[in-house]
């Protein structure tokens, strides 16, 4: 154990991640922490806009986005795919259908994330590309609350597959909608001007070597 601590001194590692990343970053930290148990890790969660604001105030060693801001002061490491899937309650009439036309899905009442959300940003870019509009019923500021609203039959939504992983898909069906999923990637971002502590350097190397490994063995089934 002691040998594995060599190279990364005790220190703090300050991370801020978008709400969708909170479903898998703790698992990555868990693996990293096993080897670096003397680290004091601080972990913040916010929506995309809140995390962008933190980058501007230089508050953390690392930020996790799937839609990083265009800011030349940030260094980005792409590290995992992120697919946004159409979800409905498990008993929804479209749940058993294959190849559902986007226009048909778009007629269902839709539950969307709040302004400032990266998930919403990705969906809006996708709709603009597809020249489609959704039948928005409600705006909800949390992936978890959206999942529960979908389960209760209030509508359908599009959320990151990570919100469904690690047992999080109960009561929900992933719909086979044409043109979906929306495929994006996760990025670890850091301000280039921020000095890289040994702890931060170690974490950066760890993230660079993660590649595309799925984190949850049941992941593709989610
Ligand atoms: P958010 O995160 O929807 O919680 O802002 C996702 C992202 O930035 O892609």
Could you read off the pLDDT of 97-146 as tens digits, one per residue?
A: 999 999 999 999 999 999 999 999 999 999 999 999 999 999 999 999 99
Under the banding of pLDDT at 50, 70 and 90, the label for residue 151 is very high
Residue-level pLDDT at 155 = 97
Under the banding of pLDDT at 50, 70 and 90, the label for residue 218 is low
**ipTM over 0.90 threshold:** yes
Q: Is the pLDDT of residue 154 over 50?
A: yes
Q: For helices 25-35 and 198-208, what crossing angle results, to 10°?
A: 120
Sign of CA dihedral 87, 89, 90, 95: negative
Q: Is the pLDDT of residue 213 over 60?
A: no
Does the CB atom of residue 65 touch ligand 1 within 6 A? yes
Does the CB atom of residue 48 touch ligand 1 within 6 A? yes
**Ligand 1 centroid distance, CA of 88 (Å):** 20
Under the banding of pLDDT at 50, 70 and 90, the label for residue 9 is low
H/E stretch holding 29 reads helix 25-35
């Amino acid at each position: 154990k002691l040998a594995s601590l060599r190279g990364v001194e005790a220190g703090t590692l300050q991370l801020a991640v978008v709400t969708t990343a909170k479903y898998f970053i703790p698992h990555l930290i868990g693996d990293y922490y096993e080897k670096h148990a003397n680290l004091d890790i601080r972990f913040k969660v916010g929506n995309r806009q809140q995390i962008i604001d933190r980058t501007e105030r230089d508050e953390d060693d690392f930020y996790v986005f799937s839609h990083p801001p265009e800011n030349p002061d940030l260094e980005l490491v792409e590290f995992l795919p992120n697919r946004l899937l159409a979800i409905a309650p498990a008993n929804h009439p479209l749940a058993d259908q294959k190849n559902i036309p986007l226009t048909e899905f778009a007629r269902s009442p839709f539950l969307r994330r709040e302004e400032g959300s990266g998930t919403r940003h990705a969906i809006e870019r996708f709709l603009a590309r597809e020249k489609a509009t959704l039948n928005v019923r409600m705006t909800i500021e949390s992936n978890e609350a959206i999942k529960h609203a979908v389960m209760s039959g209030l509508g359908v939504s599009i959320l990151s597959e990570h919100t469904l992983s690690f047992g999080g898909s109960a009561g929900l069906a992933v719909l086979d909608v044409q043109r979906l999923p929306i495929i994006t990637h996760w990025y670890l971002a850091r301000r280039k001007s921020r000095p890289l502590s040994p702890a931060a350097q170690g974490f950066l190397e760890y993230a660079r070597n993660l590649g595309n490994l799925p984190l949850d063995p049941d992941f593709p089934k989610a």
